[in-house]
Amino acid sequence: MDNSKRLLLDWLMVKVLVVLLVSGFVCGLGRGETYKKTDYSYRAMDIGGLREGFERPPIEAGPWVYWFCFDNAITAQEMEREIKEMVAAGISGAEFRFIEFDWWRKKEDVDKELAMVGDHKRLEYLSDEFVDVIEHACSVAERYGFKLSINMGMGWPPGGTWITEEYRTRKLKANATIVEGPKEVGKDVRVPKDSRVFAWRLVDEKDKTVQADSFVNLTDRVRFRGEYGVLSWKAPEGKWLVVVFTMG
pLDDT single digits (tens) 146-186: 999 887 666 665 666 667 778 777 888 999 989 888 988 88
pLDDT, position 135: 92
Task: Give the highest mean pLDDT range of 6-15, 29-38, 98-107, 191-200.
Answer: 191-200
Question: Mean pLDDT, to the nearest integer, of 88-107?
Answer: 78
The three-state secondary structure class of 244 is strand
Indicate if 11 and 39 belong to the same structural domain: yes
Residue 200, domain extent: 172-247
Which of 170, 147, 151 is closest to 61 using CA atoms?
A: 147
Which of 205, 209, 206, 199 is closest to 236 using CA atoms?
A: 199
Q: Tell me: pLDDT of 215 over 80.
A: yes
Mean pLDDT of the chain: 77
Residue after which a domain boundary falls, among 100, 118, 151: 151
Q: Give dist(CA 177, CA 230) in Å, integer.
A: 13
Indicate if 105 and 42 belong to the same structural domain: no
Domain count, the chain: 3
CA of residue 65 relative to chain centroid, distance: 12
Residue pair 101/71 in contact (Cβ under 8 Å)? The answer is: yes
Which of 77, 95, 97 is closest to 148 using CA atoms?
A: 95
Which of 70, 58, 130 is closest to 105 using CA atoms?
A: 70
Q: Tell me: pLDDT of 200 over 90.
A: yes
Residue pair 160/196 in contact (Cβ under 8 Å)? The answer is: no
Indicate if 48 and 67 belong to the same structural domain: no
The three-state secondary structure class of 62 is coil
* Residue 156 domain flag: no
Q: Tell me: pLDDT of 81 over 60.
A: yes
pTM passes above 0.85: no
Indicate if 203 and 226 belong to the same structural domain: yes
Please state, for a pLDDT cut of 90, what percent of the chain lies above it: 25
pLDDT tens by residue, 10-64: 544 444 444 333 333 333 333 333 333 334 456 777 888 878 878 877 777 889 9
